[in-house]
Amino acid sequence: MSRDFRELLETKWDEGKFLCVGLDSNIEKLPEAVRKEDTRATIVAFNRAIVDATKDLVCAYKPNPAFYEARGDEGFAALRETISYILDVAPDVPVILDAKRADIVSTNEQYAISAFEYLRADAITVNPYLGAEPLKPFFDREDKGVIVLCHTSNPGAREFQNLSVDGGEELYKHVARSAATRWNEKGNCCIFVGATYPEELGEVRTIVGDMPILVAGIGAQDGDLEKTLKMGRDSRNRGLIVNASRSIIFASRGSDFAEVARTRAQELHERIRKGM
């Protein structure tokens, strides 16, 4: 059965769901209660519990492959099994692979195969530093979301992203304008902006219109949710994928970790709904 990222996302927005849970499942932080005989089984058990506890509240899940690749074969197997589990138990919830890929065409062709065919993700984050041409293998997948890093959430984001380029426009604005026009021929381009920079988020929203924006930095990075919603929502009072990772999945290190994760997710879900 074919899956279209934008259609899945719009359906979730119709339901009033804008929360994305980041499955950054660092095995060193997983509770003792979930630990199994091996690394793969431990990570999968944790992720399954989080998914089961939150799947009716979210618009997407966002695993970052770094936390899985760091554990070798078992970790990568856990990533694939986690996505497969989401597709089985929550088939209406899209999966975003937060891989931030960036390379030449021949390499990106392989990254696209890995993300969309082997792992079966619905969307991927990409880095625009190499320009549009090498991103073609991602954009050519019309049913997949391609989320372009525009202004990230880290403290050092402004070092390059706010530099002035041709005409005096900041680089992040130039990226947003390119993504909204030249790069979006197939209508599957999205934008990534950090919630820790609400003014920049507002500027990006003005540039990209009603394109989906993935926002990270709410929770552990102390992004301001109210400002994020005000500056980031589109003309339809939607358009946002609001990610929270550590503040939800590691809210408890005890045997109640899944229940506490659900409570935190529900609280954030309700705050987003009220703010939209």
Residues recognised as catalytic: 100
**CA distance readout (Å), 220 to 153, 192, 248, 250:** 11, 17, 9, 10
List of long-range contacts for 82-91, beta carbons under 8 Å, 24+ apart: 82/23, 82/25, 82/43, 82/44, 82/47, 82/48, 82/51, 83/119, 83/120, 83/121, 84/120, 85/44, 85/47, 85/48, 85/51, 86/51, 86/55, 86/61, 87/120, 89/51, 89/52, 89/55, 90/51, 90/55
What is the length of the chain? 276
- Helix or strand or coil: residue 175? helix
